[in-house]
Amino acid sequence: MKRPAASVLLLAGGIVVLIGLPLQWSTAIVGDLTLASRRGLDYAGYDVGTTVALGILLVVAAFAVAAGQRWGHLLAVAVAVMAALWAALVFFAAANPIDGSSSGVTVSVGAGVYVTAAGALLGLIGAVLGLRGRSVAVVTSGVPSSV
């Protein structure tokens, strides 16, 4: 295990992304009346699936990086970047729902969005740490040139 911090951060990031799913993502309020309060699990279809897939892929990348697999670092970077972009999309979608355009409706972002974003950030830091200090070996093949 060459980079234990990278794999630990990737693992923690994946778990934290998954922990954010059952927490509150948004609450719509009119005056003193709460119209709707939604958790990550309450959103239809692809929101739940994408969040779960990214969390699981961060965990898989953590184990691949810990095992020293070369493809693990590529997977870690790709998934961590996707998770960070997904967290940004979730934040802006939760803060600005399409059906919340009625006057007097206030939408607040819940803790679940921040937890999901924190997990994505942990994964991104872990992916970058996993890449830091990697060296490339020069491999010669064929006949050496006299030029």
Query: For 64-108, what is each residue's pLDDT tens digit?
Result: 988 888 888 899 999 999 999 988 988 887 777 665 455 677 778
User: Which helix (H) or strand (E) covers residue 141, if one does?
Assistant: none
pLDDT at site 47: 75
With respect to residue 56, please indicate whether it lies within any of the assigned structural domains.
Answer: yes
Q: Which of 13-17, 40-44, 126-130, 133-137 bottoms out in mean pLDDT, i.e. has the lowest? A: 133-137
Q: In what order do the strands lie in the sheet with 33-39?
A: 33-39, 24-30, 105-109
CA-based angle 131:136:140, to the nearest 5? 160
With respect to residue 137, please indicate whether it lies within any of the assigned structural domains.
Answer: no
With respect to residue 146, please indicate whether it lies within any of the assigned structural domains.
Answer: no
pLDDT top residue among 134 and 51? 51
Cα–Cα nearest to 51, from 84, 74, 28, 75: 84
With respect to residue 59, please indicate whether it lies within any of the assigned structural domains.
Answer: yes
pLDDT at 33 over 90: no
For 73, the domain range is: 4-131
Q: How many domains does the chain have?
A: 1
Cα–Cα nearest to 27, from 39, 41, 10: 39
With respect to residue 144, please indicate whether it lies within any of the assigned structural domains.
Answer: no
